[in-house]
Chains A and B, each alone.
Chain A
Amino acid sequence: MQNAWLIPLLPLLSFILLLLFGKKLKEASAYAGIGATLLSLMLAAAVMLGQWGGESYKAEGVWLSIGKHAVTMGYEINPLNALMLVIVTLVSFLVHVYSKSYMRGDDRFHVFFAYLGLFTFAMLGLVLSPNLLQVYMFWELVGLGSFLLIGYYYFKPEAKAAAKKAFIMTRIGDVGLFIGIILLYWQAGSFEYDEIFKAIADGTISSDMITLIAILIFVGAVGKSGQLPLHTWLPDAMEGPTPVSALIHAATMVAAGVYLVAAMYPLFEASSAAMTTVAVVGGITAIFAASIGLMQKDIKRVLAYSTVSQLGYMMLALGSGGYTAGVFHLMTHAFFKALLFLAAGSVIHAVHTQNIEEMGGLWRKLKITAPLFLIGALSISGFPLFSGFFSKDEILMATYGDGRYGLFVLAVLAAFFTAFYMFRLFFMVFAGSPSQEHGKVGESDGPMILPMAVLGVLAVLAGYLNTPWFGTFLADYLSHGPVRFAAEGEHGPIWIPILATAVSLAGILLAYLMYGKKKLSRNWLSRSLPSLSTIVYRKYYVDEAYDATVVRGTTGFSCLWSYVDRYLVEGAVNGTVSLIQWLGKRGSYMYDGQVQRIGAVAVAGLVIILLFFAAAGGYFS
């Protein structure tokens, strides 16, 4: 456990190595990244096993002193972040392996792996941080990794726009986090988690302040996790290479917001207003993004909106007091969503398009990818006995138990939508006959299949960590952490899992009838309610609204000030200049070259000065 600091440093080493020598290593670059993450994974697993049931471990050193306060940097191992370490290193390792094959032949192969290393470093650093300042620093660095990888295809204007948007949108959230951390520092006198929790427990911070700080920190989480209203960057982020979408925009970074809320759970619990905010934002995001997912045509965008929706679910769980449920869903989601993205990448690799309307009938051609995708889809839809079923159940129960029935209904509806759009996707891609000939469609090779297979197994099995039947390993494990949460031993009414199953099956069935059997018309919505379907298809015009208000507003405001600068400020300067020139010209009329006149003026000046001094009675006294 003392060696846990090596876990993030290994990927950093790979980043530095590839930055310096990547050009020479070429395709061998992949091995540096794979090797580093594999080592990290093994270390992380060792750390988690060592941690199991034990106490938290913390090591830190002084980084900077502000007056008497010493700001420290270090690392901490507790149940929550040990779990996160394993998830992150595992997914990162698998994505590294996958990318080796997926990115083959790319000009900047080594740069890609360098960026992956940087991102993994930052993400692991974020997870290991024992204090909020360090969290914030790595929080920004994961944003950097995400930014670099979204903009990996730098020559594509869309990628450039998406990278910029991702950075700026998340930064808006980060400012909230920034202010929250600073306010918390002056309230609690420290950035350290344990001291903050102590201050909250002691009641030294007023409840209004706690609410304000919690909501500000949540704003940071909203930006990172693509919650409403800062969600628009996440679907655009799909411009990055697909393995990146799997790693960053599905499994790890976007879950950082959820992780942060979980890590700061005592703060949120101390304020019911903050909990309500988290739950409501999460619930609305879940249904909102799921409804957009119903209409999208790009395979990656469907998955992206699904990610937004699932993250909303996790927030809803945390906001409803379901700490274990939120973390549990974070874990299962990491596996099945990474699986779905990697499988989607495999499909894109095969057919070279992302438009699902141009796909179809791939079941027979992609004999391994298709079943794996099905596993992912069943899992996310909450099909019984797959991992998503268990974690989603927990969330529904937590929401129901919390008594916000409106949000409960939203969550159930979102579950139905999820099942529907996932199977709409599945049937459109794999069922039926190819709508277009794609030339030779071949299955991906081993390095791509293997990670998917591992994730497929996990997508099924991860659910059994915390079930009503086999025991609640995860909840027991997490209860050793610094965060004390209410035991969720008592289970909700039995009809909740049944309802969830029914809803999920209904969604799948409807998708089957519409897209599999084609018994129902696909276009009934766009025909019966054209305006609604357009609105949904255009993602509720959120992008357009932001463009019209914030973007244009800022640009207009800037232009306004640039005119002020050019004409008012510069004008004042130029005015002064011309005034002085005018005075000089006037003055020069008096000067006619006559020595005696010059002398007379000089004497007059002297007399004036003398008179002035005579009146003032001396100088400087």
Chain B
Amino acid sequence: MNSIPLSVYLVLALILFCIGLFGALTKRNAVIVLISIELMLNAVNINLVAFAKYGAKPGLTGQIFSLFTITVAAAEAAVGLAILMALYRNRKTVNVDEMDIMKR
């Protein structure tokens, strides 16, 4: 197990984060955008765990922190979806392009 270096985890997290970022910024469907945000959060989780195992001071802090993140992410997804539902009821669309009420 030790043969896999830290950088591999970090690259994986980086790739995951970039995919998530790309999705969050380009996809038109709000549901996909939410899923992309989850991807980014998970990239962070990987980082946390990897550093906890292979960092300068190994310990459990990172793992525990990632548990928190997962919990918060779940809550956030729930709230996000709820907002999405409310929006859909009002505007009959989940298309991000059409949601520009912040402009006004």
Contacts and interface: CB of A to CB of B under 8 A. Distances in A.
**A–B touching in complex (CB under 8 Å):** yes
Interface of A: 591-596, 599-600, 603
B96 A596 contact: yes
A593 B103 contact: yes
B8 interface: no
Nearest to A598: B102
B52 interface: no
B97 interface: yes
A592 B24 contact: no
Contacts of A593: 99-104
A51 to B, nearest CB: 92
Nearest to A599: B25
Please name the 5 residue pairs, one residue from A and one from B, whose CB atoms are nearest each other, closest first: A593-B103, A593-B100, A593-B102, A600-B25, A596-B25
Contacts of B99: 593, 595
Nearest to A594: B100
Contacts of A599: 24-25
A596 B102 CA distance: 12
B26 A596 contact: yes
Per DSSP, chain B at the interface is helix
18 contacts: A591-B103, A592-B103, A593-B99, A593-B101, A593-B102, A593-B103, A593-B104, A594-B96, A594-B100, A595-B99, A595-B102, A596-B24, A596-B26, A596-B33, A596-B96, A599-B25, A603-B21, A603-B25
Contacts of B96: 594-596
Nearest to A602: B25
Per DSSP, chain A at the interface is helix
Nearest to B24: A599
B26 A592 contact: no
B58 to A, nearest CB: 25
A1 B73 CA distance: 96
A609 to B, nearest CB: 16
A594 B97 CA distance: 7
B56 to A, nearest CB: 17
Contacts of A603: 21, 25
A607 to B, nearest CB: 11
Contacts of B25: 596, 599-600, 603
A600 B24 CA distance: 9
Contacts of A592: 100, 103
Contacts of B26: 596
A592 B103 CA distance: 6
A599 B26 CA distance: 10
Contacts of A595: 96, 99, 102
